[in-house]
Every structure is written in structure tokens, then in C-alpha cells.
Structure 1
Amino acid sequence: MKRFISFEPFITLLLIFATTFCAAQELSFEDGKKYILGGLEVTGLQSYNEQTVKTYTGLRVGQPITLPGDEISGIINKLWGLELFKNIDFYITNIDGDKVFLELNIIERPTLSSVTVNGVKPRKVDDILKDTDLKKGKKITESLIANTKNYLDNKYKKQGFLNTKTSIIVAKDTSETNAQKMVVNINKGDKVKIKKIIFEGNEQLSDKKLKGAFKKTKEKRFWRFWKKSKFIEEDYENDLELLSDKYAENGYRDARIISDSLIKVDENNIILKYQIEEGNKYYFGDIDFVGNSVYSDRQLAAVLGIKKGDTYNGVLLRERIADDSKPEPADVTSLYQNNGYLFSSINPVEVSAENDTINFEIRVIEGKETFLNHIDVVGNDRTNDHVIYRELRTRPGQRYDKSNIIRTIRELQQLGYFDAEQIKPDILNPNPNEGTVDIKYNLVESGSSQIELQGGYGGGGFIGTLGLSFNNFSIKNILKGEAYKPVPMGDGQTFAMRVQASRTFRVYSLNFAEPWLGGRKPVQFSLNLSRTQQFGVDYNNSTSSRIEVDKDRGFAITGISAGLAKRVQWPDDYFTISHSLSYQLYEFNNYDIGLFNFGNGKSNSFAYTLGISRNATSGGRIFPRGGSNFEVTAKLTPPYSLFSNKDFEALRDRSEELTLLEVQQGGLSAADDAELEDIDQQRFRWLEYYKVKFKGDWYTTLVGDLVMRTNAEFGFLGNYNNDVGDVPFERFFVGGDGLGNFTLDGRDVVQLRGYENQSLTPIDPLTGQQEGGLVYNKFSLELRYPLTLKPSASIYMLAFMEGGNAFNNFQEFNPFQIKRSAGVGLRIFMPAFGLLGIDFGYGFDEDLRPQSIGNGPSGLQTHFIIGQQF
């Protein structure tokens, strides 16, 4: 006879004992009988080892055991806790004297062999399986099925699919032992939209104002494509707080939402209804400061900016005390934290309300002045510590200053070596008693080196480009083989080389920059070497598919420049002053194509450039979110003509006379042509000019991640001596993508989308050709929105409006006479390849090329952007 013990209260066991052995002995229902465990058998197992289960129960043959008793109950609860079995039973199989023999019968839960998810896109299935932990071998329980169903229902309801219904079906899998297949059917239905929002009880604030307070809860309107009207419960709850804030901003501090209800119109539409009690309008009364000793009442009141008699504004009061929405707020809390009082606490307290006036006490607990203890940086796997520490505005022993932490984040972002979105400072080990705190900066390295590899056909031949730019280079390790990973990195230097070649031209450049010359102060040293060669074309023997090059004719520029740039402390420490000296040698060999004043000879340019810049942008180089960046430069050559005895007026007059004759006759005699070249050689053997440029960018975060960039540019090329005239080099060519990868003559190539490249360059009245402008200006407005800002790739889209123009001289210059355009674009920044992008711009005006006059607007133009500055 097999005796049964269930896992429930052991009354059943007692009854069995009572009825079986009542004749031989008396049993108490309160007290069990003691036995010696003679044996234990485990039955019903399919996938588990019997000995493993015996060991887990803790029962050993020969041990004393009380039946019924807490020991068996504890074992059953312990096995249930594993959630591996769906039934657990103990049986008495035999009693021999004082020995008892037990059987543990177990029914295992089935395991999950496979999962099929229906109703969602295939690419979403893996995420669902990961979130719900539905993986092969998982034990199938009722709670697993219920939790999975609830999770999926709630997941899609949060996305606006309020009618989501999930069903889960399991079926036996005959191909495996004790396994079941699972099918998850998700029916999301359509997103539920908000058809209407109704307010009742509002008399002081209109429905329009209250609806405008909602950030994400919006009525369905056909014209609102930028803000969806789907109902999402989390957004709905957050917007309820904004509704209360709207009343608090207008003096109604007692306003409350009595009730809010969701009315179902049909499967796809709902109505939101709010019952509001507005209460009375209040005003600020007396505002007293209590507990302040570091700052006077007048100083704190100036920062608070709220006066007696002002309409009560609870939101403004909260922001003036502590504004967490801005990185650098002008509030009372920041005033203390920017001056060493990290542990300060500022709390506004209503002390009385008289009629419609509320009196406040601003209670200040200043705490102990705080100093920085330990400063740590983690996450810099490639960049050496000293490169980072020299940019830190926080040093051990310094007084705590919140603004210095924010400035440090900005400086680290500007380096470009780290993911700007993941630079996070942690405030550690705050000790109010000792007045100390530690800071740890968490960094994530991003690629700082770039490769440019391009190839294509243009001008009748193949054009190839190879460029390497290492923006975190280490020149001191250039001879250490173990440092090449793949090149010596980590010292913050820049090393770049570039080669571009075709059958008709070659360009070589080499650049090096050390941002901290000597390692002690932020003085940048830069050195640039370049060589450009352009060969003549034999048009008589050239075809549309192949150009014949005449290497006996050509033009070359050899250049070298060196510069120093230093950060200064005045007017503030965002300013940099730079100085550079440059020399260019222009060499012409039978290269008379009309682009320059002469086709044979040489010109020399020795110039000094002074630059003043201020870079106070925030958010990183790739996608700035705030601040400004402007630069003013003046490039000057010596006024050689002041020290010369030549009659430049006569030379100029004769040059203009011969040029006009050339235009009228379509050419010059050999003698006149030689004379003209000789004259221009005398005028421009040593170039003399001054060139002034301004460029400013301003960034403003409008809402969320939407950023507005405004830009203004201006350039002017002048001369010291009108008799010498304006130099034929260094001019401004406006229009197109702005890429000046191959510029022959030191020209500035200015981007103005919606027009073909350099098509807004004015026509010289004497020659009738586009020889470059002497003055230009440009204005731009861009709206930028990021799609992703991950280290592997940063992508943002943009919309732009811009206008600009170039002019022959300053007398013709009119800043309002601009060529206008508008369009959209996309930018992709990948660390290995730099910035890539495409713009579609529409030009609303004619360009300045002779063939375009009278043909109407420039129209739609496509521009491909490669390697352009951010």
C-alpha cells in the first residue's frame, strides 16, 4: 500500500497514519512520529539526474526524520522555489519498524524549444525576445506567459497602440523531450489619436493657452506634421504637470485639475476632458533672505530677479532658485556653487498669505566652503593623460566651481578625441564636514584619424586623391616601432599629408601642429608645406575623352608658412591670438590662359597674418548646440611700392591700354604681348596687398535637439597703391559647394548652395572674364536636427536659407544685394573618413556668368560635401 503526502498541510498524512496504524499505536495530530530514513526514491524525472535532486533535498539515508513534520514541508517549498517543476508529491512506500521509505514524485515543467513572433517587423523580433527573456531552454510557467503578455501589451500601449492585444499559445514539441513551442501573436491595431481636448472650468486662461502648455499631448490636425497626436500615457502624465505649471506661471498657484478623463470615440480616436478649478490670482509680497552671510540680501535679490508686487510665478521662482534645464543657469544655487559652496541649500518657503499676496522667506544654508580633493580621468585608452589634464579647469586644492566643470567638458569636447555626448563628470565622496569633494571625468575615445581616398574622372582624365590626417599624433614616438598602432598616437598633435593628381595637375601638402609648444602653455605651433603644379593642355590634339598634356607649359606654386597661436585671458579666456608668416612663389612658364595677368615669369608673396578668434561653442565640434565661434584675420604684405622708384602710374596706364586693345582686337601682337607681360611682371614681382576677413557662427538650441546655426561672413582684398593695382591672386570666388581642394592662386572659395561652383564671381569690366571678386559677404541660417550622435557615426539633417554675393570693388559693394537660396541637406561624420554630405539647394536668382544673364533663376543644384569643416 503506497501512502501519500501532499505538499499542502499534512492533515492527509496524519489521517493515513491514523487509519492505518490506529490499532497498533496512538498518534497525535499535533505531534509527528520519528523515524529513520531507510531509503528515498525520486520518480518522474525526464531531464534531471536523480542523485542531483536527492542531494538538493538534503535527505540522507539513516538520518532521523519526523513524519509529518516541518522538514518535508521545507523541502517541498525549496523545490517549488526553483520554478522547475509543476507538481511535487511525497509518498510513503514502506515502513519497517522504525525505518520509513519515501518516494519523491516530480513532474517537470516543459522547456521552451522555439518562439515564433507574429505581428511585428522581423527586425524587431530579436529585441522582443531579449526584453522578455524568451530563450531556448527556458522553463515555461504560468507567470512567464502572463508577464510576457503584460509586457508586450504595455510596451505598445506606451507607443500609442492602446488597443494592443497579445495572445500566447504553447504546443508540445515532439522533436525534443518535455519541450514546447511558443507562438506569440501581437495585434497592435492602429495608433489611437487624440481627436479633441476639452477644458471645463477655465475662465482666466483660454483653451488655446492651455493646449499650448502641453508638450506632447496634441489634438489631431491635418497640418501638424511635425508633432504627432497619438496618445501615450507617459507623455500624458508629464503634460498634466505642465498644465499646472502654466497656471502657476500666471499667478494661479491654487489651480488644480479636479478630474481628467479619457473618452473613447471609436477604435482609433479618443477625447481628453479636463475639469479645472482655477482659484484666485496671487502676487509676490515680501521676499526675505535668511541664513546668508557670503552674499548680501541685495546681491541675492539681484540674481533672484523677482520684486514685490510681481504676479506670482511658481515656475519662475523655482528656476531662479535652481534651474536644472540649462548647463549654465543664472540662478541662486549656481551663484553659490560657482564660488565654492557645493553643499549650500536654498529653499523658498511661504511664510504667510495675506489676501492675494504671498510673502516668502528664502532660507539659505551655505554650508562649508568646498575644495577639490582628487581629480581622476578614466576611459582614455589612446590619449595620454597629460593631453587631457592640461585642458582641465579643475585642479586638486582648487575651490569648487561648477562653471569650471562645465568649461572642462567644453574643452574636452573641442579636442575631438572623445565622444562629445558621453563626457560625464561624476561628483564623488562629498564630505560636508571637511569641505572636500572628488571629481571623475568619464571619457569614451572616438576615432580622431581620417583617411581620404577618392578617384574619378574629370577634365578628360582620372583624378586620384589620397589624404591622411592624424589628429591625435605623437611625433616623439615616431621612431618607436611599438608605438605604431597603426601610427604613434596620444600626444594631441596634428599631422596631415595629402596628394591629389591627374594628368593635368598635381597637389602636395604637408601639415604639422603642436597645440602646446613646450608643454607648459597653450601656445600652438603650426608648419605647412605645399606644392602645386598645373600643366598646359594641347587642345589641338585633345579629344572629349582624352586630354593631351603639354608639360613644357605650366604654372606652379611653392609655399611654406609657420604660425604661433596663443590663448589669452582678455577680454575673456575664450580668445586666441595667432600670428603667421608665409611665403609663396608663383612660377609661370608659357601659361597664358587669361586667368592671370601674365603667362611667363615669377611672383613672390611674403605675408604676415594676424588672427583674433573666440571659440565658445558647446556640445562638441561635430554638432554644436550653443555658443558662438568667430574669427577676424588680416593678411598683410610689405608695401614695396613705397620704397621703389618705378613710375607705377605709367605702368598701370600702359597695362590698361594694352589690355583694352587686346579685348578690342581679340589679341595682341607679339611685341605688345611681351610688353604687357613685362609691365605686369614689374607690378607684381613682389605682391603687395592687405586682406581682411570675418566669419562668425552662432548656435542656439531651440527645442529639444533642434539647433539653429546663424552665420555671417565678409572679406575684402585691398591695395596700398592704386597705381600698382589689385593683385591677380588671393581673390574671392563665391558659389557652389565651397570645396577648394585645388586652388591655384590662394583664392578663397566661398560656399553658397543653390548655385554652380564659383558662378557668383563678378565679371571684370575690362577683360569681360570672371577673375575673382575683391569684396564678398554672405549670410546663412540653418536648422539642424541629429538622427544619431554615436561615436561610430554622427548623422544630422539640415534645412538652410542663405544669401551672398561678390563684387569687383568696394565702391560697388552693397551688403543687401545678395543672391538667395534655400534647401535641405544631410551630414554624416565617420571618424575614419571625416564629414560627408549632400545638399539640395535652389537658387532664386541668376548667377553672374555671362552665359547665365537673362536665363532666369539658377534653379535646383545638388552639392556633394566631402571633408568640409563643420
Structure 2
Amino acid sequence: MKLLLNIKKENDDLGKQVNNLANKLPLTNYIKHCFAILLFACSLSIKAQQIPYNDGKAYTIGDIAVIGNTAFEAQTIVTYSGLQKGQAITIPGEEISAAIKKLWNSKLFSDIEIYLTKVEGDTAFLEIRLSDLPQLNELKINGVKKSKIEGIIKENKLEKGVKVTENLITTTKNYLTNKYQKDGFYNTKVLINTIDIKDSLATARVNMVINIDKGEKVKIDDIVINGNEVLSDKTLRKSMKNTKKKNILRFLKRSKYIEADYKEDLVSLIDKYKENGYRDARILSDSVIVNDNQTISLKIDLEEGEKYTFGDITFIGNTVYSNQYLNRILRIKKGDTYNGVLLQKRIADDTKPDGFDITNEYQNHGYLFSTINPVEVSADNNVIDMEIRIIEGKPAYFNTVSVVGNDKTNDHVIYREIRTRPGQLYSKANVVRTVRELGQLGFFDAQEISPDFKNANPNEGTIDMEYSVKETGSSQIELQGGYGGGGFIGTLGLSFNNFAIKDIFKKEAYKPIPMGDGQKLALRLQASRFYQTYSFSFSEPWMGGKRPVQFSSSLSHTKQFLYDYQTGNADKSRSFNITGITFGLAKRLTVPDDYFTLSQALSYQRYDLNNYNTGLFTFGDGFSNNLSYTVGLSRNNTSVDPIYPTGGSNFSVTAKLSFPYSLVNGVDYTALKNERDDNFAILTDPDATAAEQADANTRISEIDQERYNWLEFYKVKFKADWFAQVIPNTDLVLKPSVEFGFLGAYNQDRGVIPFERFFLGGDGLGSYSLDGREAIALRGYPNQSLSTNDGGTIYNKFSLELRYPITLKASAKIYGLTFLEGGASYNNFRDYNPFDLKRSAGVGLRIFMPAFGLLGIDFGHGFDNVPGDTEKSGWQTHFIIGQQF
């Protein structure tokens, strides 16, 4: 910016002399002009008698001229500057400085100067000289692949027409240099040139050429550590999490050199000493040595110092909590090896917002403004006495609590999940829990939810809380086609996860559908040559609006046709129909804690068989009724993102029970079983006549129709998942899981029903056999291949999954995974062996897009054989739609 007031006067070249002197000095443009102003002011003080009008005298602007290379109208520039003809100004004074500043802040001009061209009595004539900032015309980027150019343009906002400023050039250069240095190109050089375009257009334009020379990728050949005797080189190198030397066995951490990571790792190296009692350890020097083979070596000289232990630890200033209680939280005793890192974590663990430390204990009980500082008061004989000085401050209360960013979701849906209320005592735990609950809704980007403190007033003990959210698409559409079950399968599904049923008859609410009340509505249609299925479901998470009691309902109908082995087509005259309806209630509990949910459901299914004879059912014509009650207890404290949890656990245990009809219906099932066994013996007797076998088969069907008229069973299932960060504050997550299921009968003479069974193996998405079965995933094996044809009555499964995110943006969450898992299916407890498993391992990818839900692919290798085969299963490919393992 040129803050220069030039004075043109015949026979007076003072301004020119000052400018010439400033331009001869090796200064930046900005400093040159500041220097020119200084010289000009000094000269004025010497020649004041020659320039009497430059003594802060008041003038009236006679006229303002505008010259320079600009596409703007002169009157537009004058108006924007704030100066106007007839205005009273002081020369020198604030008016001209303010006008220059205002023009500069518009970010439209360069070389802004205002000249005093003429003085007539008390009238001053001004001239504004400026040039438009040039616009970017063409951009050429050399040194990178063509596929990368679009990303560079977008990330640096280098679109055609953008104003080319020094700041734009500098930030672009720094961005590209840092970008490639982070990828291991330590010697990256970026050169940016601009070329003025000389044409007839009034607008100033430039072409820009960016030359990127990444050089060779620089890897770390060796890390040499000198001065260490207590801790080994291996231990110290391991403490450097992001800086590793070359090793062909390492694939999670590359050996590229990134200066910022290296500096951070030097701190980690000293922290490793502090964890072991050496509080005086320090880096004496570190250097980067460039080798001849395009690698570098790092040399670190350090001094370990002496080992220290903790002495007396005294708390000062605490009135809310006793010394004994604070000592229980600190968990450090006199005589323990000094550990400065552990001490800091026990006082305030920045890696765990809900950690068990002294700071959180105070903040969870209202003392937001408390400060806790550990101070060493003595270090005699390498024994450190500590004072932990506490300033408790006033308890803080929420004054206002607000939410911003929700354009679609109604306020009451959010506020009912918020655990911080106006007038309530501040609690950090409640703030952390609120962030989790809002993330679990699925309506907002869990990575973007931010609790912001506003207007904190330690004197009055009040604070305003504002939760900032970013909404994501909460409706999903499923439209797909594929081949399976012997034919083409078409699916149309609509899922509205933030529905508002109260607005269903309001025309203006369809944008495109009524939304905002947090309800869920799903419609699904799937059809092929062999079956059709229709389903509808609706749930309200806060029935009545006052308590977190979820009401859910679903209605479904499926129709399956028998496969004709002669024609290979579906026989439409032979069908198996299932119609079902379910109502459920789920209530959030308060004990043992409010992560628990008690759920209950009442369901009814009607199975109709029309000339549908298979190996599973012994009667081809008839029906079965399934009236059952399901009760479940679950606990979910995963955080924060439901798509990619990084901590917590999720477990559930459910029991599905039918009424024990055999106790009250007066049927002698022992006699029926004996009669069935007798007829089955006739049916399998090679000496029996055809008529006898036909009669026996008819009687077996009649007996089974009576046995399965009303289904009698109980089914128990258990599932648990855990999530843990492998390295604190990273997104590398380990997920162990365990599952178990058992289907039993009250009356052994009546037997286990042919429905509700477990079919293990494959992707877990089920198949075209819609007989109430449960498909259990076990990757690395074909679908449902690890159970018998009739399905298992017992199964167990164990898995271990390692996940790493590629991106967790709201538009698409993508993560990769590797897995180990094993499981098995059994028909009775006599054969049950939880350690006799079918094992597999593999890799996979998951993509979650709000409009389409979860999609994925897994490549699993089965190490064992499928029952009936002698060869191991080998590699299997699984496509995942709408679920997670």
C-alpha cells in the first residue's frame, strides 16, 4: 500500500527527491513508501517556510480526479473512497489516510496514491492514482500429474477471474511446498511467475505459471541418538511416533521426513525420559544430514540427567474436595518414580475429554473457572516435593443454551437431547454427553458438532453455551438391481430418517418431504422371478414428546414361489406367503446408568403354504402362526460418530418368546411324536407298499400341521462390540466383537420349529428364502454355507477388525479395514464346541453417503472347508449394502 501524499508545485521537486531516495534502498514496496513518508515529513519540517500550506491547515476539496489503469468509473472510485467535492479536510489529516485505507480494504486495487495537485486559497485539488489488481486469465501448472491439477486449483482458489495478489501467490507457494514435503518430498521447490497481458481490454489480466519441482522423495536412512545410557536406542526411536527410519517390514508408518512431525517427536522423546524419572533430560542438538543416496540421517545429541522420585505432594486451596479424595484421583504416592507426563494427565488429561482427572472432577461439578497448577517446591537429593495449587473460583451456571446450524431439524428435537439447561450447574461431562447424543441422532455431521462457550463471566459465575451443528442428508434411497437366488433382483427402498408425520397433510412442508421431527419412515419393495417382498416401518423416538420412549411399528408381506427344477422357472401356482406386523417400545433407563435401553416388542407372523412342498416343511398345504414377545436390554456408549465410532462399547441381549401353548392346549405331544415316528418308519421302510407310504406321508403332514399350528419356541441372542483407539488421539480403531444365539423348545416332544433358525456364512444379507431365518455374516465363505439346509439352532461368532479412515467428511465417510473372524453353527448342544470355528481373514472398504447409506466390499479368505467339501473355502468377495459388521 502506498501511503504517500505527493505535493506538486512548480519549482519544488521535494516529493520526487524523497521517492528517488526511497527507491534506491533494498526495501519492500510497503517499507519503501513508509520510509518515503518519514523522509518527506522530515523534509517538510526543514522547508516549512517554503511550503506554508502543509501545517495541518483546513481546506475544502475543489475537485477530485481519478487516473490509472482501472475499469471502474471515476465517480464510483471517488464515492467509495469517502471523499467528495466540497468536503472540508485537513492536510495532513485523517481523511486522506482513511480514504486510502478504505480503497485498499476493498481488495480491488494496487498502487493506491492520493496527490495534492493544486491549491487555490483554501481550496485543494486532489488526484487519486491507482491500478486494478490483475485478474487471473490462464493458469499453467508444471511438474505434477494432470489428474492432480484440478485439486490444486480448487484448494487454492485459482479459478479464472480471481484477483491475483501477493498474498495469493505467497499462500499458494507455501501450500504446495508444505503439501509435498508432507508426502516426503523434502526438497520441494515451487516457483510462481505472472505475465501481464497487453491487449485492448481495460481490465488488467495476467497469466500465471506454477512450476513445481518435487525432487526425489526423501526417506530417513537412520536415526542416530547420542548420549543415552538409561534408555536404549530402540525405546527412544519407538517413542517417536511419526518419524521412522527405513524398514521394509513397516507399512503403517512410512519413513518420510516431515519437519513438523519431527519437532513434535523430539518432544515425545523427552517425554519418554520424564515418564521414567529423568525430568532434566534435554536435547543438546539435532541435525539433518543429507546423504548421497537421496536419503537423510537424523542425529540427536541429548543429555539424560539424573533420576528423580516424588516426595511430598501437598494440595493448597482446595475447599470442595478433601486431600484424601484428591489423592485418590491423583494416584501418585511418595517414593514413586517421577513421571511428569503421568502427573499432568492425572491433573488434566487432554487426550480424554471424559477422563478421570482432577480438572474434570472440578469441572463436572460446576467449577468451570477453576485452575490447577502443579509446582515443584523442592528437589533436594533428587526427591521432588510438589504443591498442587488450586484456585476453585465460583461455580458456573448456564445462562443461555442455544443451537445454530439446524435448518431442517426442528429445535425441540435437538433440545430434548441436550443435557445442559439454562440455570443448571455447569458440567463438562454433560457437555461431552450432549455432543455424543447429537452425533448419535444421525441428522448432523458428527465430526462438525462443536460446543462453543460464549460470554463466560467468572465474576458472576455464568456462561452461555452454543452448540454448532452441520446438517447432513438424513434421507436415503436404495435403487439397485442384481443377480441372486436364481434370477434378477430389483430393489427400491426409501428411508426418511428425520421425518415429520404431523406435516404430512401440509402441502408447503414437502421440500421434498415433511422433515424435522426426528421420526423414521421406511418403505421397501424387492422382487424377482421367485419372490416379492413389501415392507413399511415407522418409529417415533420420543412418544408423547416428554420422555425418551421410542415407539416403532412395521408391516411386511412376502410371497415366495417354488422353484421348478424341470423348467428352471418359478411355479406361480405353488407359493409360500408370510405376513407380519410388529409393535415395539424402547425406554431409556436411568439405572445402572442412562446408556441402558430396555426394549419390548410384540409381533405376529402368518405363514401360509399353498402346495409348497420342500425339505424344510413336512406339510405343503397349511399355515403356521407366530405370536411372540421380545424383550431386550442394550447399552450403547459409543462415541461420537455412529458411522465411525472411536470409543465405547455396544452390547445387547434379547430373548424372543412365544406362549407355551403345550402347557394349556391339552394336546398329548408325546403320543403325536410316537405316532409320527411310527409313520416315518413306514415311510422309510423299503418293504412298505406305495399306498402305505402315501398314507404315512399324509399323516406326518397332518401331525406337523398340528405341531406347528401355533409356533412354540424361545430364542436368546447376545452381541457385543467394543471400540478403542490403538494409539491415543488417532483414528486407527480396533473393534473386537462376539455373538451368540440359541433357539430352543419348551416341549422336546413338540420339537424345535423349522422357522427362526440361524444361517451362518457370507455377507449376512440373507437370500431369497424368506422363511423367517436369520442370516449371520461370516466373511470368507459362501452365503449360508456353514449351517445345515434346515439352519442351525445354535451359533457363535468372534471377530477382530482394525479400521482406518480415508475421509470422515459429511459428504462421504470412507474407511478401510482388515479383519480376523471365526464362527460355527450347530444343531444341538451335544455338538456345540465354541472353539471349533470356521476361520477367515481379509480386507475391506466401507463408503457411507447420506443419500445411499452404507456400501462396501470385502475380500475374505476362508481357511477351513465348507461342510460337505474337502477343500478350504479360499477367497470370497462380499458386497455390503446398508449394514455394518
Q: Aligning the two structures, in what range does the TM-score lie when normalised by the shorter sequence?
A: 0.7 to 0.9
1:626 maps to 647
Name the stretch that deviates more: 207-216 or 119-128: 119-128
User: How does the TM-score come out when normalised to structure 2?
Assistant: 0.86
Deviations 1:813-835 (CA, angstroms, capped at 9, x unpaired): 11011111111111111222221
Larger radius of gyration: 1
1:117 maps to 141
State the Cα distance separating 1:137 from its structure 2 match.
7.0
In 2 relative to 1, CA 251–496 (structure 1 residues): closer, same or farther, beyond 3 Å? Answer: same
Q: Distance in 2 between matches of 1:399 and 1:96?
A: 71
Q: Distance in 2 between matches of 1:135 and 1:530?
A: 53
In 2 relative to 1, CA 175–287 (structure 1 residues): closer, same or farther, beyond 3 Å? Answer: same
State the Cα distance separating 1:46 from its structure 2 match.
8.0
SS at match of 1:421: coil
1:24 maps to none
In 2 relative to 1, CA 811–337 (structure 1 residues): closer, same or farther, beyond 3 Å? Answer: same
1:702 maps to 726
1:5 maps to 13
Match of 2:628 among 607, 611, 630: 607
State the Cα distance separating 1:165 from its structure 2 match.
2.7
Residues 760 and 847 in structure 1, CA contact (< 8 A), matched pair in contact too: yes
Residues 251 and 282 in structure 1, CA contact (< 8 A), matched pair in contact too: yes
Note if 1:857 corresponds to 2:876.
no
2:578 maps to 557
Matches for 1:72-471 after TM superposition, within 5 Å: 113-125=137-149, 128=152, 152-153=176-177, 156-157=180-181, 159-171=183-195, 173-176=197-200, 180-266=206-292, 268-459=294-485, 461-471=487-497
Q: Distance in 2 between matches of 1:304 and 1:533?
A: 64
Name the stretch that deviates more: 562-571 or 453-462: 453-462
In 2 relative to 1, CA 386–145 (structure 1 residues): closer, same or farther, beyond 3 Å? Answer: closer
2:603 maps to 582
1:32 maps to 50
Q: Distance in 2 between matches of 1:257 and 1:311?
A: 21
Provide the identity percentage. 55
SS at match of 1:422: coil
Name the stretch that deviates more: 481-490 or 362-371: 481-490
Q: Distance in 2 between matches of 1:49 and 1:678?
A: 98
1:868 maps to 883
Residues 217 and 235 in structure 1, CA contact (< 8 A), matched pair in contact too: yes
1:594 maps to 615
Name the stretch that deviates more: 424-433 or 29-38: 29-38
Q: Distance in 2 between matches of 1:110 and 1:378?
A: 38
State the Cα distance separating 1:123 from its structure 2 match.
4.9
1:829 maps to 848
Residues 471 and 495 in structure 1, CA contact (< 8 A), matched pair in contact too: yes
RMSD value over aligned CA atoms?
3.8
In 2 relative to 1, CA 826–118 (structure 1 residues): closer, same or farther, beyond 3 Å? Answer: same
Matches for 1:645-684 after TM superposition, within 5 Å: 645-659=666-680, 662=683, 669-684=693-708
Matches for 1:458-497 after TM superposition, within 5 Å: 458-459=484-485, 461-497=487-523
In 2 relative to 1, CA 719–123 (structure 1 residues): closer, same or farther, beyond 3 Å? Answer: same
Q: Which amino acid aligns with 1:502?
A: S
Match of 1:569 among 590, 602, 619: 590
Note if 1:636 corresponds to 2:690.
no
Between Structure 1 and Structure 2, how many residues are aligned? 838
In 2 relative to 1, CA 427–641 (structure 1 residues): closer, same or farther, beyond 3 Å? Answer: same
Name the stretch that deviates more: 2-11 or 332-341: 2-11
State the Cα distance separating 1:233 from its structure 2 match.
1.4
Q: Distance in 2 between matches of 1:385 and 1:276?
A: 57
Residues 109 and 130 in structure 2, CA contact (< 8 A), matched pair in contact too: no
In 2 relative to 1, CA 62–683 (structure 1 residues): closer, same or farther, beyond 3 Å? Answer: closer
Q: Distance in 1 between matches of 2:98 and 2:364?
A: 62
Q: Which amino acid aligns with 1:368?
A: K
SS at match of 1:339: coil
State the Cα distance separating 1:142 from its structure 2 match.
8.2
Q: Distance in 2 between matches of 1:482 and 1:79?
A: 45
Residues 87 and 108 in structure 1, CA contact (< 8 A), matched pair in contact too: no
SS at match of 1:335: helix
Deviations 1:670-721 (CA, angstroms, capped at 9, x unpaired): 2111011112122222221111111111111112111111111111111112
Residues 223 and 245 in structure 2, CA contact (< 8 A), matched pair in contact too: yes
State the Cα distance separating 1:402 from its structure 2 match.
1.0
Matches for 1:51-70 after TM superposition, within 5 Å: none
Q: Distance in 2 between matches of 1:326 and 1:7?
A: 63
Residues 6 and 12 in structure 1, CA contact (< 8 A), matched pair in contact too: no
Q: Distance in 1 between matches of 2:367 and 2:64?
A: 70
- Structure 2, unpaired ranges of 5+: 1-8, 22-44, 54-58
Deviations 1:362-403 (CA, angstroms, capped at 9, x unpaired): 111111122222111222222222222221222222211111
2:811 maps to 792
Q: Distance in 1 between matches of 2:278 and 2:847?
A: 48
Q: Distance in 2 between matches of 1:817 and 1:736?
A: 18
Q: Which amino acid aligns with 1:791?
A: A
In 2 relative to 1, CA 10–781 (structure 1 residues): closer, same or farther, beyond 3 Å? Answer: closer
Deviations 1:14-42 (CA, angstroms, capped at 9, x unpaired): xxxxxxxxxxxxx9955215699999998
Name the stretch that deviates more: 369-378 or 307-316: 369-378
State the Cα distance separating 1:151 from its structure 2 match.
6.2
Q: Distance in 2 between matches of 1:109 and 1:639?
A: 85
In 2 relative to 1, CA 141–844 (structure 1 residues): closer, same or farther, beyond 3 Å? Answer: closer
Q: Which amino acid aligns with 1:588?
A: L
Deviations 1:491-521 (CA, angstroms, capped at 9, x unpaired): 2222222222233322222222222222221
SS at match of 2:726: strand
2:27 maps to none
Q: Which amino acid aligns with 2:716?
A: V
In 2 relative to 1, CA 75–445 (structure 1 residues): closer, same or farther, beyond 3 Å? Answer: closer
Residues 682 and 696 in structure 2, CA contact (< 8 A), matched pair in contact too: no
Residues 485 and 768 in structure 2, CA contact (< 8 A), matched pair in contact too: no
Deviations 1:520-576 (CA, angstroms, capped at 9, x unpaired): 212222222222222234444x14xxx15232x222222222222211112221111
State the Cα distance separating 1:181 from its structure 2 match.
3.5
Q: Distance in 2 between matches of 1:434 and 1:89?
A: 51
Q: Distance in 2 between matches of 1:810 and 1:410?
A: 41
Deviations 1:81-101 (CA, angstroms, capped at 9, x unpaired): 8996779999999x9999999
- Structure 1, unpaired ranges of 5+: 14-26, 763-769
State the Cα distance separating 1:836 from its structure 2 match.
1.2
Q: Distance in 2 between matches of 1:298 and 1:774?
A: 55
Match of 1:777 among 784, 796, 815: 796
Q: Which amino acid aligns with 1:114?
A: E
Q: Which amino acid aligns with 1:784?
A: R
Q: Distance in 2 between matches of 1:451 and 1:680?
A: 42
Residues 774 and 810 in structure 1, CA contact (< 8 A), matched pair in contact too: no
SS at match of 2:704: helix
Q: Distance in 1 between matches of 2:272 and 2:50?
A: 71
Residues 680 and 697 in structure 2, CA contact (< 8 A), matched pair in contact too: no
State the Cα distance separating 1:740 from its structure 2 match.
2.6
State the Cα distance separating 1:47 from its structure 2 match.
6.3
SS at match of 1:355: helix
In 2 relative to 1, CA 8–267 (structure 1 residues): closer, same or farther, beyond 3 Å? Answer: farther
In 2 relative to 1, CA 398–866 (structure 1 residues): closer, same or farther, beyond 3 Å? Answer: same
Q: Which amino acid aligns with 1:811?
A: R
Q: Distance in 2 between matches of 1:107 and 1:423?
A: 44
